[in-house]
Amino acid sequence: MTDTLLHIDSSADPTADSVSRRLTARFVRAWRERHGTAGYRHRDLSATPVAPLTAAYTALGRRVEHAGFVPPAEVSALIGGPAERREWELTLPLVTELRRAHTVLLGVPMYNFSVPAALKAWIDRVTFPGAFTDPDTGASLLGGTRVIAVMARGGGYGPGTPRAAFDFQTPYLRAWFGNLGVDPGRLHLIAAELTRVDVLPRLAGLEHLAADSLAAAEDALTELARSAA
């Protein structure tokens, strides 16, 4: 079976200024060497933002929850009006992309200790009741999906650092993907730290740590891209 890659970037910066975009691009290049281009899909959440949720989305979601595990193909029958239909039209393509992907690659810069609003809007919309649940067994349809989140942080937030407790990015992504049913062993959270060492005076003297962190992230991504999904 052909592997499929869903590549999602969320940085507001262009590639020239974005560490997360450069790292996801590195993964894609290595992945294409192994798998080709046929199964590749890129979504740029900064260039094409996902619309925030409305009352119509939540109304439809509650109706679907009340009906039990309703697969996406049957949601249309529960839609109650044009506003709900519009919300579902915005949601279904994103859900379908995620369901079809064997590997999901996320570029996630740290904004204010967490994930960018652009990514959070995507997360909110795809987290639709029953969208990733097998209606017959109740099991997650994402149990075999491999997820690679590339996190870029301007400062240092690793274990033992003064700001370790400020990292709400890693536990949030781990909790969200875990709640969707992604196998913990198939969730890879890779961080490049101190990425603003060249512009923040308070980080002076940490250039070697920044270089080591970036190199480790590059090596990990290259290895993951060349391995089986």
Cβ-based neighbour number of residue 23 at 10 Å:
24
Specify the amino acid at residue 158. Answer: G
**CA–CA separation, 85 vs 67, rounded Å?**
17
1 appears as a binding residue in the annotation: no
Write down the residue that tokens 């994402």 correspond to. 142
40 appears as a binding residue in the annotation: no
76 appears as a binding residue in the annotation: no
115 appears as a binding residue in the annotation: no
150 appears as a binding residue in the annotation: no
Distances (CA, A) of 106 to 102, 148, 191, 201, 206: 13, 6, 12, 29, 27
Classified as helix, coil or strand, 7 is: strand
**CA–CA separation, 223 vs 229, rounded Å?**
11
Angle at 132 between CA 42 and CA 92, to 5 degrees: 55
140 appears as a binding residue in the annotation: no
Write down the residue that tokens 């915005």 correspond to. 90
20 appears as a binding residue in the annotation: yes
What residues form the annotated binding site?
A: 11, 18-20, 110-113
What residues form the annotated binding site for FMN?
A: 11, 18-20, 110-113
